Amino acid sequence: MPSTPDTDPLLLPEGTRLLHIGPHKTGTTAVQAALWSARASLLEQGVRHAGRSRNPSNAVRAVTEQSSPYAEGTPPSMRHWRDLVREIRGAREPRLVVSSEFFAWASPDVIRRIVDELDPDRVRIAVTVRPLARIIPSHWQQNIQAGTVVGLDAWIESLFREPPGRPNPRFWWLQRHDELIARWADVVGPDRVTAVVVDDRAHDVVLRAFERLLGLREGTLAGVRDLANRSLTLPEAEAVRAFNVRFKAEGLPKALHARVMRFGAAQEMKQREPAANEPRVELPAQALDRVAAAARGIVAGIEASGVHVIGDPSILTEVPAPRPDAVPAGPVAIPADVAAAMAMGIVSATGAARDASTRAPLQFAEPVELVRVPTYQVIGVVGLRAQAAVLRGLRRIGRFVRRG
């Protein structure tokens, strides 16, 4: 029998400030979109969704010292974080929720700082946890959108490299969910942490869990259809990866990549409806055992931690059955429309399309032939041509004089 919100054992006490800390690739965008679009209804039910956007990423990046994708090595200004803290402290609603996967980056020191600033008595933590076998392909294609050039197989190799000298610490910092949970539980106490198991076959389960934690009527949070949040298919990811290789060879800066690819062409590519038979990014068969073993370790750690768990943690160890028709190794063929969508996305991202659709004259741009020609050589060529033109003129005058 479904319990009413008031008697629900999951319901967090009044005064709670619930931090949903992700991590990445666990369906955070879906949770954030659902909270954001139900903001008014949340307020009516006494819950504030804090932040000026669905994911206050600048504020959380600032406090966790994660650089913005547009500015290498520079986290956003701490002003964003102070604004968010002020909003949270000023809230009068019985409960408050803030969701950002960038919380997951926090070191123990930063966790202590965050919790202290938001009042240790009132902070509760929600962590969404998803099967590692789903996280890995999803995380890889996200890295590709962000500009990396490593193929899926090699990347997975790097995750499990032995001895664990440098086995991709950034990935495991976020995705060893047991260790992530332990870092936060050490500061707030395990009974103030709730792990929500994400089941890809039943997306609503996560939204129902947040409703119960916050005391919302069932159905307040609804799935928002968002094409832009789908993963890239394998050919799409491979096209972007090849672009990244080229981009790197051209020595172009990361901020430009963020503009034209990550937040440009990659977004446009996701508006495309992939064919049903287009291969998805999937774990290679040879990785399944190692992934399952790591996932078992994660589940054991979560179960031993003493945190609340919503959902069935046993699904976290699931790996797909090896498929006989798996995509063979080797270069992936790209459907022509994927290539077209990527190039068209670049056109849009550069702003050229905006100029063209307003029929304004195109802004000056160097022709492709000139991009690698140094300025002194261009000046030299203009000089040569001017010299030729002068000689032509002199000859014409000479002929005129001789005739006259």
Partner 1 sequence: MEPNPADAAVLLPPRTRLIHIGPPKTGTTSVQGAFHARRDELRAQGVHYAGAARHSASAVRAVTGRPSAYDEDVPPPRRRWNALVRDIRGAGDRRVVLSSELLADATPDAIRAITRALGPAPVHVVATLRPLAALMPSQWQQYVQAGLTASFDAWLTAMLDRDDGVPTPSFWVRHRHDRLVERWAAAVGSANVTVIARAEPDPELVLRSLERLTGLGAGTLVATPDFANRSLTLPEAEAVRAFNAEYRSQRLGRPLLNRVMHFGACQYLKRIEPDPAWPRIEMPQWALDRVAPISREIVTGIAGSGVRVIGDLEALAEVEPSRLAGDRQPPVDVPPRIAARMAMGVLVASGLVRERSQPDAGAAELQLERGPTPVLQEPYDLYRVPTYVLAGTIVHRLRADAVRRLRTLVTRPRGRPGA
Q: Which parts of 312-351 interact with partner 1 (CB under 8 A)?
A: 331-347, 350-351
Q: Which is nearer to partner 1, 140 or 210 (CB)?
A: 140
Within 39-78, the residues that bind partner 1 by CB under 8 A are 57-58, 61, 68-71, 74-78
Q: Which is nearer to partner 1, 43 or 388 (CB)?
A: 388
* Cα–Cα dist 187/235, whole Å: 43
- Burial of 156-193, coded b for 16+ CB within 10 Å and e otherwise, reads bbebeeeeeeeebeebebbbbbbbbbbbbbebbebebb
Q: In Å, how far from its chain's centre is CA 284? A: 23
| Residue 79 CB partners (closer than 8 Å, separation 6+) | 62
304 is a contact residue toward partner 1 (CB under 8 A): no
Task: Look at the block and give the residue holding tokens 């964003």.
Answer: 80
Closest CB 345 distance from partner 1, rounded Å: 8
Closest CB 70 distance from partner 1, rounded Å: 5
Q: Which is nearer to partner 1, 211 or 238 (CB)?
A: 238
Of 24-32, 140-148, 209-217, 259-267, the segment contacting partner 1 by CB under 8 A is 259-267
Question: Pattern 79-98, binding to partner 1, x per CB under 8 A?
Answer: -x------------------
Token pair in block for residue 99? 């969701």
Task: Judge contact between 179 and 193, C-beta under 8 A.
Answer: no
Within 195-254, the residues that bind partner 1 by CB under 8 A are 238-239, 241-253
36 is a contact residue toward partner 1 (CB under 8 A): no
| Residue 237 CB partners (closer than 8 Å, separation 6+) | 140, 141, 144, 152, 281
275 is a contact residue toward partner 1 (CB under 8 A): no
Q: Could you say which of 3, 293, 355, 390 contacts partner 1 (CB under 8 A)?
A: 355
Helix (H) or strand (E) segment spanning residue 186: helix 177-188
Q: Could you say which of 18, 198, 260, 315 contacts partner 1 (CB under 8 A)?
A: 260
Q: Which of 55, 400, 30, 12 is nearest to 223 (CA)?
A: 30
Of 207-215, 217-225, 302-310, 378-386, the segment contacting partner 1 by CB under 8 A is 378-386
Q: Residue 10, by phi and psi: left (phi above 0), alpha (psi -120 to 50) or beta?
A: alpha
Closest CB 335 distance from partner 1, rounded Å: 6
Q: Residue 363, by phi and psi: left (phi above 0), alpha (psi -120 to 50) or beta?
A: beta
Q: Could you say which of 293, 381, 390, 394 contacts partner 1 (CB under 8 A)?
A: 381
Closest CB 50 distance from partner 1, rounded Å: 19
365 is a contact residue toward partner 1 (CB under 8 A): yes
Phi first, then psi, for residue 309 (nearest 5°) are -130, 125
Closest CB 358 distance from partner 1, rounded Å: 10
Closest CB 174 distance from partner 1, rounded Å: 19
140 is a contact residue toward partner 1 (CB under 8 A): no
279 is a contact residue toward partner 1 (CB under 8 A): no
Q: Which of 151, 184, 120, 403 is nearest to 281 (CA)?
A: 151
Sheet-wide strand order for 193-197: 47-49, 95-99, 17-20, 123-129, 193-197, 308-310
Q: Which of 378, 363, 28, 72 is nearest to 210 (CA)?
A: 28
Closest CB 396 distance from partner 1, rounded Å: 5
Closest CB 280 distance from partner 1, rounded Å: 17
**Binding-site residue total for partner 1 (CB under 8 A)?**
83
